[in-house]
Amino acid sequence: MPDAAAQVEIPKRALFKAAEVCDLVKVQPYVLRSWEAEFPDLGLSKASGAPRVYRREDVEQVLRIKHLLLVEGLTLAGARRRLEDETSPVAPDAPAIDELIGRNARERLTAVKRGLQSILDLLASRVGVEEFRLAPPPSAPARHARPMAASRAKPARGKRPAPRSGRAPQARRNGR
């Protein structure tokens, strides 16, 4: 990416007003205010109630944010994460990669690779053996399906089954 600050000539001053930043970067004031909400380190106010002012670094960061959003197509959260990743220093006491995976990792990986290659060679050397393929399980002989007898059928939900004897059901008492 060409440096966004190089494309826009920023005057050699220490502080800028919000309107000046908007003119330099070509964004509306409400856009700059919304970016301030997402990027809390952007801009500074000298006293409570005083208008926010921006340092030269802030103007360069606003240009970078604009590039990330409009050119690279990132969201505000994505742009914030990208800027955090770019500015976060690497811890000097971070363990080296060799310590994390072990000093002899290359030798172990080479041994695993040799073992896998020997398995492939073993499988390839089988002459006359059919190629291994997955096949569906053999189908079981079909059973003759019989419809259920009417007397064994389950009644519909909520209804009482018809009595098996030839008698009619007794009338319910209490209006139930």
> Which tens digits make up the pLDDT trace of 13-46?
888 999 999 999 999 999 998 998 888 888 876 6
What pLDDT is recorded for position 146?
Answer: 58
Based on DSSP, count helices (H) and strands (E) in the chain, helices before strands.
7, 3
pLDDT band at 1 (very low <50, low <70, confident <90, very high): very low
Task: State mean pLDDT over 51-66.
Answer: 90
Taking the mean position of all CA atoms in its chain, how far away is CA 165?
Answer: 66
User: What per-residue confidence (pLDDT) applies to 160?
Assistant: 65
Domains annotated for the chain, with CATH where assigned, are 4-87 (1.10.1660.10)
**93 three-class SS:** coil
Determine the longest span between alpha carbons in the chain, in angstroms: 107
Question: CB atoms < 10 A from the CB of 79, how many?
Answer: 20
* DSSP state at residue 55: E
| Per-chain mean pLDDT for the chain | 75
Residue 65 reports pLDDT greater than 70:
yes
